[in-house]
Amino acid sequence: MSKIKTRFAPSPTGRMHVGNLRTALYAYLIAKHEGGTFMLRIEDTDQERLVEGAVDIINRTLAGTGLIHDEGPDKDGGVGPYVQSDRVKQGIYMEYAKKLVAEGKAYYCFCDKERLASLHTKIDGTDKEVTIYDKHCLSLSKEEVEANLAAGKPFVIRQNNPTEGTTSFHDDIYGDITVDNSELDDMILIKSDGYPTYNFANVVDDHLMGITHVVRGNEYLSSTPKYNRLYEAFGWEIPVYIHCPLITDEEHKKLSKRSGHSSYEDLIEQGFLSDAIVNFMALLGWSPEDNTEIMSLSQLIEKFDWFSFLLSRLFGKSPRRSVGIRRPTSMGFPSVFRPDRPVGSGTPTGAD
C-alpha cells in the first residue's frame, strides 16, 4: 500500500466549530500514526459564503491545536495550488468537466430559474421541497449546445447519472453500501459562475493531490455513490472512505457554524485549554484499547491505531464520558493541561 495521505479541507466561512475540528484531528491522527502526510486545502468555491479573515482563523486553529500540516498553501508539496479559487484560475476543474462532456458522462444545462422552479416536488409527509432534474438538456444536439454557448447563454455542467441499476461503494466504518441509481440526481459539477461545486472539486482535487484516505462526516454518505461514479468515469483509483458519525447538539442536530454552535475559538475564550479541547475531541467517537482518557497530542498519535478506531465504531466501544465539556481543572488533568500554562496572549487559561 502507498504511503497514507489525508487532507483537511475546510471552507473559510467563519470560526471552526468542534465538528470540523474533530474531522481535522482524526485525519491528522490517521496519517501521523502511520507515518503519513497530512495536507491542508482551502475549499473556497462557495464565494457567497466567504468570510474575510476566515483563512487566518483556520491557520490559528490548526497551529493552536498542534495539527501542523505537511503540505498546504504555505508548504508546497508539488501538487498545488492548495486554494481552490487559485485552481479555478488555472482552469483545472473546467478541463476535467469538459472531458466528461466529451465522453457523454456529463452535459451542459441551460435551464433557467423558472424552469428549475417548476421541477420542485414536496417530500411526502413534510413541507420540504426537493428539485429532481429531468435531464431535459441532455437531449440537446451538439449544434444546439454550441449555439447556446456562442450566444453567451448561462449554463451549468451536470453529471450524467444512469436511472437504472445500482451503484455500490465501501466505507471502512459503514461497510458496503448499495443504492439504486434512480436515486442519483444529475448533480451540478460546474456552476453558472464557472466555479466547481464541492461535490466535483473534492473528487478532482483528492485524486490529483494523491489523497489515499478521505475522512469526513457521515452526511456525505448519500453523495458518495455519485463521487464513485466520477472516479470510475475518469478511470481513477477510489480512495479509502472513512465517514465519521456526526457530533450533534442537544436536539440531535448536526453542529453548524450557521447555527452558532461552539467553535474552537469560542471555547478558548471561555477558558478551556487547547490541549484539553483536543483530548476531548479525540474521545468523541474513539477510545484507546487501554481506556486512557487523558492524553497529549503525541500520545494520541501513538495510540490512535486505525484498526482499533474501526473496532470502536463497529462494536460500540466508546468513551465512558461522551457528553458535556467540563473545565480542565475539574477533570483533574495532569501538568500538561495545567490552568497556569499559557495558551496565548490575552487568552483565559482555564480558571473559572
Gap between the Cα atoms of 28 and 221, Å rounded = 21
Q: Decide if 306 contacts 33 (C-beta within 8 A).
A: yes
257 catalytically annotated: yes
According to DSSP, the residues that pair with 83 across neighbouring strands are: 42
According to DSSP, the residues that pair with 129 across neighbouring strands are: 122
Q: Which of 99, 257, 303, 317 is catalytic?
A: 257
* Helices within the chain (DSSP H only): 18-33, 54-65, 84-89, 92-102, 113-117, 142-150, 198-208, 224-234, 264-269, 274-282, 297-303, 306-314
According to DSSP, the residues that pair with 131 across neighbouring strands are: 120
Distance set, CA 196 to CA 79, 119, 191 (Å):
18, 23, 6
- The amino acid that residue 189 corresponds to is L
Gap between the Cα atoms of 146 and 135, Å rounded = 18
Phi-psi region of 178 (alpha: psi -120 to 50; beta: other; left: phi over 0): beta
- The amino acid that residue 177 corresponds to is I
Please name the residues in contact with 276: beta carbons below 8 A apart, sequence gap of 6 or more. Answer: 328, 331, 333, 337, 350
What is the grid cell recorded at 34? 502511520
Which one-letter DSSP state was computed for residue 197? Answer: P
Catalytic residues, by residue number, are 257
